[in-house]
Amino acid sequence: MVFNLETQRGNCVNTEYDSIVERARRFSQDIVRSRVADFEENGVSKEVIQQMAEQGFLRSIFPIEYGGLAVDALTYGRITEEIGKGCNSVRALLTVHTSLVGETVAKLGSDEQKQTFLPVMASGEKIACFALSEPEAGSDAASIQTSYQEFDDHYVINGTKKWITYGGVADLFLVFASKDEKTSAFIVERNMPGVTTSPMSGLMASRGAHLAEISFENVSVPKLNMLGRAGMGFSFVANTALFYGRYSIAWGGLAIICAALEEMVTYSRSRVQFGTKISQNQLIKAMIADSTTSLHAGRAMCEKIAEMRIKGDQRAVTETNIAKYLTSKAAAEVSSNAVQIFGGNGIWNSYAVERLFREAKVLEIIEGTSQIQQLMIAGQALRDYYRVALKKHYPNSKSASDKAGLSEAKNKLVASV
């Protein structure tokens, strides 16, 4: 994928960055944390979604001319982390609304599209979500069945999307549909005739994130609403969106690692067994050491990709895949350590680690499963770390197939979520 990454240094002065991150921290601690149980039961409330908009979090990284605050990528990552520490389902709103849809429209939209959609998304008047996956198309996103037809002044979309985060409450859907095996992206509005959403229940995690199935039955969409050029839905729009989305998930993973570490350290210093605090046991310390190492490695990686985005470094795309893979895997391991350190209390929903453990697992599945990240990372590594000078030391090696398989694998993964 060729991704033209522009410099993303924001326009605010540093004190404003700090204040919005500090606001996110307070909002997460004071408002979000206390309501997590309710969100898990009833979904993140409209009131909290509106507060996220009023506080500027939803529009933080949007350009100023479209109602945004134009914070830089590092500040946006830190906002994501702070919100994610409070509740992963609330953090998911930033991922779908601000990153997957908002940043993509800001990057690829026409002037008219930006004027039409970004200010109402910035104010929270309209909430947006990302609708690529289908019942029969997940990792292999190129196999989507949702189709579109083209007419003189509009398109007609038919199909069903599944697992759509905030699909139950969103007003705008970034929908991917195919025609003649070529995929295009459209912004579809909830109030367009033929759009219906059904909430998904029985979920292990993301219970607050209003997951929904969405069906499109002969939905007529104006020509204005095609995002990017016809047929460029995967190579351009989905990959751009997933770059922003994975950036957000990387910081979301960091949030869970940090929250789980704070929980395990605090609990282990108060729980007494065999007449001593459990934190004094070397086996407990080993889990704390591993978890701390994961936090520091994850933070270094997240700050690295933020800096790469700020500098407009093209390698940010691959590094973001690595960061997403690293922090989601580490979040699953660290939250598992936290449950272990809490013992029986760890699986009781009176303690936060039970939820952190469930939420961490989701990060290894969404926006490209860990296996898909591994395939992409390995594909890049097989190019970057190949050394002709070393090869001569290997007996019986043949050169004919050096490149075989690499481009084929790359092409297949272009469309993977």
Which residue among the candidates 40, 65, 367, 408 is catalytic per the annotation? 367
- Residue span binding ligand FAD (CB under 6 A) among the ranges 188-196, 231-239, 321-329, 368-376: 368-376
**36 counts as binding ligand FAD under rule CB under 6 A:** no
Q: For residue 95, give both structure tokens.
A: 């991922």
Q: What one-character DSSP code corresponds to residue 134?
A: B
Helix axes 316-342, 239-268, angle to 10 degrees: 30
The least CB distance from residue 109 to ligand FAD, in Å, is 19
Task: Give the CA angle between residues 322, 325, 330 to the nearest 5°.
Answer: 120
Residue type, 134: E
Say whether 367 is catalytic: yes
**84 counts as binding ligand FAD under rule CB under 6 A:** no
Residues of span 150-169 touching ligand FAD by CB under 6 A: 163-165
The least CB distance from residue 140 to ligand FAD, in Å, is 6
Interatomic CA distance for residues 159 and 214, integer angstroms? 8
**173 counts as binding ligand FAD under rule CB under 6 A:** no
Residues of span 327-356 touching ligand FAD by CB under 6 A: none
Closer Cβ to ligand FAD, 75 or 183, answer by number: 183
DSSP letters along 131-149, please?
A: E--BTTBSS-GGG---EEE
Residues 6+ apart with CB under 8 A from 79: 20, 21, 24, 57, 60, 71, 94
**99 counts as binding ligand FAD under rule CB under 6 A:** no
Residues 6+ apart with CB under 8 A from 261: 288, 291, 292, 295, 334, 338
The least CB distance from residue 204 to ligand FAD, in Å, is 9
Backbone angles phi, psi at 253, to 5 degrees: -65, -40
Residues 378 and 318 sit within 8 Å (Cβ to Cβ): no
Q: Find the residue with minimal CB distance to ligand FAD.
A: 138
**362 counts as binding ligand FAD under rule CB under 6 A:** yes
The least CB distance from residue 353 to ligand FAD, in Å, is 19
**369 counts as binding ligand FAD under rule CB under 6 A:** yes
- Residue span binding ligand FAD (CB under 6 A) among the ranges 36-44, 321-329, 370-378, 389-397: 370-378
Q: Which residue has the tokens 């070397």?
A: 282
Closer Cβ to ligand FAD, 306 or 417, answer by number: 417
- Residue span binding ligand FAD (CB under 6 A) among the ranges 114-122, 268-276, 360-368, 387-395: 360-368
The least CB distance from residue 206 to ligand FAD, in Å, is 4
Neighbours of 50 (CB within 10 A): 15
Residues 6+ apart with CB under 8 A from 122: 53, 58, 59, 62, 66, 67, 68, 102
Interatomic CA distance for residues 349 and 357, integer angstroms? 11
**132 counts as binding ligand FAD under rule CB under 6 A:** yes
**365 counts as binding ligand FAD under rule CB under 6 A:** yes
Residue type, 110: S
Closer Cβ to ligand FAD, 232 or 417, answer by number: 417
**96 counts as binding ligand FAD under rule CB under 6 A:** yes
The least CB distance from residue 133 to ligand FAD, in Å, is 3
Among 56, 124, 138, 298, binds ligand FAD (CB under 6 A): 138
Closer Cβ to ligand FAD, 273 or 371, answer by number: 371
Closer Cβ to ligand FAD, 174 or 287, answer by number: 174
**242 counts as binding ligand FAD under rule CB under 6 A:** no
Interatomic CA distance for residues 40 and 210, integer angstroms? 10
Nearest to 360 by CA among 132, 199, 206, 129: 206
β-pairing, 154-164 with 172-179?
Answer: unpaired
Residues 183 and 235 sit within 8 Å (Cβ to Cβ): no
Give residues in contact with ligand FAD (CB under 6 A). Answer: 96, 129-133, 138-139, 163-165, 206, 211, 362, 365-366, 369, 371-372, 375, 417
User: Would you name the residues annotated as active-site residues?
Assistant: 367
